[in-house]
Copies of this chain bind each other. A is one copy, B any other.
Amino acid sequence: MSGPEFVLGDVVKVLEPDSTVHPDNDPGLSPERCVALYEHMVMTRVLDERLVTLQRQGRIGFHIGSMGEEATVIGTAAALDETDWLFPCYREFGALLLRGMPLQSYMDNMYGNGNDPVKGRQMPDHYSAKPYRFGSVSSPIGTQITQAVGFAWAAKLRGEKLAAIVYFGEGATSSNEFHCGANFAGVYKTPTVLICRNNGWAISVPAEKQSASETFAQKAFAYGLVPMRVDGNDLLAVYKATRDALALARAGKPVLLECLTHRLSGHSTSDDPTRYRGQEEMAAERAQDPLPRMRAYLEKKGLWSEQKQQAFIAKVDAEVKLAVEAAEKAPAPVLDTMFDDVFEQRPWHLREQYEESLHAPRAQGHGGH
């Protein structure tokens, strides 16, 4: 008697570096859609750069970006149906905006001002966006994974036809929550796609030190999930793989999709990657930047040009500038908001504490800017 054999599929690829397209895998996106998604990647990149500058200038407190991971973030989110749900890690503001969150709301969140949808309560890049079928960013690693599985499970129980995708880094596969989430997904066959953004690093810890598993995708075998791997720097491949994964998930076969990509920046604005990474290695990764790859493809098809690029960046720059101005003009959250939403209604002790806070002198250094 012999045990099962496993074969991990190929890494899904569509766009070769020379801009040829692998016909079997081509998801057949319309030219307009291709351009729109490329533009969205560019917008994310511009925002990333601008936000880092704002942080360096002390105008916002923090930013955690997706430089280099745009194809992974946007390709996955683009593959969702309108009715599907998305549970973010913390690098998915590109997906957030794609789902419809206005740039201004995002910027207000970056400033934690009085217009911030989460009322200035969390660090920058910790957004929640229920109207856009988009979860809530939490710092503790992995907690969103079980939640996404539970959400999809609930939908399945209620007979609603939707899938949920959930993002996390390869580092997060070491968390308790990855284990619990993947296991429950397998047992209850929830319509969930677990998206592992393997960018090679968990802050300064390289993927090889994270797990002795040869690939992250093969962790699927521990849970009865379907393993898939995709070139995460290839927008079309990511889109295609996610569509396939979603189809499997909807059919009761949840998927662990590993997206192979790179983090082309520090972990966040708090990090200095030169302390633990070589210049050469970083340069090699920059050569795999998903943006030029997609751009070359669009240019070859006559859908894009240097002129369009300039114009689009100028447009985004202008929008970002306006959003920043408005965010900086907005007032800080009022003291009151500190005591709201702990419970639906304030119990006596929070009413008392609120009263007490009114009598205290306001401290210096409010307002986040």
Task: Report chain B residues within 8 Å CB of A186.
Answer: 211-213
- Cβ proximity bits A209-221 to B, threshold 8 Å, 1 near / 0 not: 1111111011101
Complex Cα–Cα for A193 and B218 (A): 21
A222 within 8 A of B: yes
Question: Would you call the interface of chain A mostly helix, strand, loop, or mixed?
Answer: mixed
Contact in complex: B8, A218 (CB < 8 Å): no
- Cβ proximity bits A178-192 to B, threshold 8 Å, 1 near / 0 not: 111001001101000
A3 within 8 A of B: yes
Interface size on A, residues (CB 8 A): 37
**A4 contacts which of B11, B209, B215, B223 (Cβ < 8 Å)?**
B215
Task: Report chain B residues within 8 Å CB of A6.
Answer: 5-6, 218, 221
A2 within 8 A of B: yes
**A222 contacts which of B3, B8, B218 (Cβ < 8 Å)?**
B218
A7 within 8 A of B: yes
Complex Cα–Cα for A174 and B187 (A): 11
Contact in complex: B215, A224 (CB < 8 Å): no
A283 within 8 A of B: no
Contact in complex: A5, B3 (CB < 8 Å): no
Given A3-B9, A3-B215, A178-B179, 4 more A-B residue pairs with CB atoms under 8 Å apart are: A1-B10, A4-B218, A187-B209, A213-B222
CB nearest neighbor in B for A215: B3
CB nearest neighbor in B for A6: B6
